[in-house]
Structure 1
């Protein structure tokens, strides 16, 4: 019994982390608090930005603490660096201004008793005016229309296996796999279906980066929504977490760059089409109400939410959180690009014409331009995985009805309140 309980806890932990890709910061003895002199952390181009720094221990300012800081555009070389001692435990750092839209970041590290403690704040400079760096291929729509037409010719071949140990009084839980964009290629996931009589709306949950097991969204299904939580790598999603760790250390290491020089063979083609195929399965279920379908996810899942909503007209609502794969070529234009940072200074091998062209067919910016359904978009300014410059390039490209909720100090993680807002928005749209 204890062995099964511990296995469940490990699985639950992995699923919880998958929602936001990176766990919420752990409380530490020394707290380095960085803020700006504007409550909304937002400035106009050319306006001076002042960062406030406070270092606390036991709720009190820590006197005579040594810090080092650096200030500069996010993900770019710092324009200002210094090491100073805070006599009172606090100070204000004048950083100057930025003449173009973007984000200016201040990172502070305090050294206390041989340990380092870190804090940061990021100022948005006219974020509403950030324009994408990525080009939109002239045949972008026809490329994906052709891919979807080819997908439609492949039999669904859906297989469902009931998981009695995960079923509840109100929900049946299945491990499912369906055929993807070619015969033999599969998409796996956890399906949760309400047991009660009737027809129900459906929600597709798309995953963050990496590989892991999934538990399925039983809680939402208990509210009367069919849910399908999928993986993207064509392997079962109910194996031990060690199997996925081994995969990420071997054949899936760096999967986001596989075949980047060929738009027809790039890794994410099967991923994007797999999301559409997951919807093919959802709408085929006899319990589906035939009308109401939504998609949501964070990070890579945020990207896949937008991609799926753009590719699949059956989707009525999308709720992406801090989307990855956004304006990825930003680095080649002297500013931050989106995860997986395939064009940053650490990856000079990717700066080729073929790879840059391929990336444009998979960049979330170009899918955002195609979206026609309402979108609930949330993110933070301190995200160091999915830089806000890249995420704003996407948001500013959406012409469909959209709502934005900012959680300024969050990095690549979410507050419970943010998760609650996303859930409430989705349930409201799905009539639950």
Structure 2
């Protein structure tokens, strides 16, 4: 078995690639930077406490003088409660003040026009986020519904099909495109399975995907280090086609898949997705190469949601890692605050989706309700400036988790992650995957 440090080094490149391509982690450089900072170093405030924000505009990393900026302050994703403009003197200005009377996040959005282009910066003050509670209801038959759904799905044999991908194999790992049946409709889940060639028993890591539709490369470097990895898609199509095909599908027939059949809890799009994640665990647990105990799930954004869902639905999962999970507290907008991605009940969606049957269905798929059933250690990572998945929404889920939880908070991050955070997540995953094996050897 490789050392933990060797595993850590080999895994970093792959995790960085995943975060960059699938989660949009990197920020493009610009000659104009709008820096917005709250007046408290930890970005944290008590209910009713006023927050102010310092603004600096840099051009080629030098503060610009006598330039006008516009600003808007208010609860994240809501209509601003204060707007204005100010001219920067001495290279910066302090704007605000704002405050909140309930737990949540107060965002300051600053914009400046330079040479015909608009540049923007934000900062988000946290008001007692540990006190945020869900708005979403818990259906009385929530657990019964999902137990039956799992039982029904498992009446269908997995019927796995494995196709070796010789060009992706290494001298240590065989790489396959894997598919298996995942529900009573006979749909299939496709993914990339990486299995160490050497005979032995190995831990397993399931990676669940962020939103969208794309091909997948497989987690080959991690498998080379001595683990089984399965990286799945959720849309029931092969994950080895040319990228152009997925782009066409994403703009065409599979656009806005997260709204499909929201009026029917038994036909909503995510039912087969959630069950597909459970069937992926079924498959991994059935493998002769699996060590029988060390199985984790990890993902970010939509994948962060699916990681929590999978761990709640299948107790064979022993740990999870979730970055800024989507699909949390979907009804937040109906209660005057930010709700989770995909923002079902706000904006242009409100008139179309704000119907009783759709709201009721959302409760069966809201990550908040799965988070209540988490019983295993979890690593969670996010920041306060996330505009894709509002922090109000994922704190709603995080705060109801009673199991051991480790939060890696970097306040200024949005829907992206610093390399240092990726290193921490990677190290945590590897320690969890191999920790039990190390303890057994020590004994």
User: For residue 332 of structure 2, what is the aligned residue in structure 1?
Assistant: 330
1:12-411 matched pairs, under 5 angstroms: 15-20=18-23, 22-347=24-349, 348-411=351-414
Distance 1:318 1:109, change over 3 A: same
Q: Conserved in 2, the CA contact under 8 Å of 1:18 and 1:208?
A: no
- Residues matched between the structures, number: 421
Q: What SS is found at the alignment partner of 1:367? A: helix
In 1: Cα distance, 2:338 partner to 2:151 partner:
35
In 2: Cα distance, 1:172 partner to 1:95 partner:
59
TM-score (norm 1): 0.95
**Structure 1 residue 39: Cα displacement:** 1.0
Which 10-residue stretch deviates more, 264-273 or 48-57?
A: 48-57
Q: Conserved in 2, the CA contact under 8 Å of 1:43 and 1:125?
A: yes
Distance 1:426 1:278, change over 3 A: same
Distance 1:342 1:70, change over 3 A: same
User: For residue 7 of structure 1, what is the aligned residue in structure 2?
Assistant: none
Please list the CA deviations of residues 185-215 of structure 1 after superposition, one character each: whole Å capped at 9, or x if unmatched.
1000001111222100000000000000000
**Structure 1 residue 183: Cα displacement:** 5.0
**Structure 1 residue 38: Cα displacement:** 1.1
**Structure 1 residue 16: Cα displacement:** 4.9
User: For residue 8 of structure 1, what is the aligned residue in structure 2?
Assistant: none
Please list the CA deviations of residues 273-297 of structure 1 after superposition, one character each: whole Å capped at 9, or x if unmatched.
0000111111111110011100000
RMSD: 1.5
Distance 1:16 1:397, change over 3 A: closer
1:408-423 matched pairs, under 5 angstroms: 408-423=411-426
In 2: Cα distance, 1:412 partner to 1:168 partner:
33
Q: Conserved in 1, the CA contact under 8 Å of 2:73 and 2:98?
A: no
In 2: Cα distance, 1:16 partner to 1:83 partner:
36
Distance 1:103 1:60, change over 3 A: same
Distance 1:12 1:426, change over 3 A: closer
Q: What SS is found at the alignment partner of 1:174? A: strand
In 2: Cα distance, 1:89 partner to 1:69 partner:
16
In 2: Cα distance, 1:23 partner to 1:37 partner:
26
Gaps of 5+ in 1: 1-10
In 2: Cα distance, 1:350 partner to 1:190 partner:
35
Q: Conserved in 2, the CA contact under 8 Å of 1:33 and 1:54?
A: yes
Q: Conserved in 2, the CA contact under 8 Å of 1:331 and 1:343?
A: yes
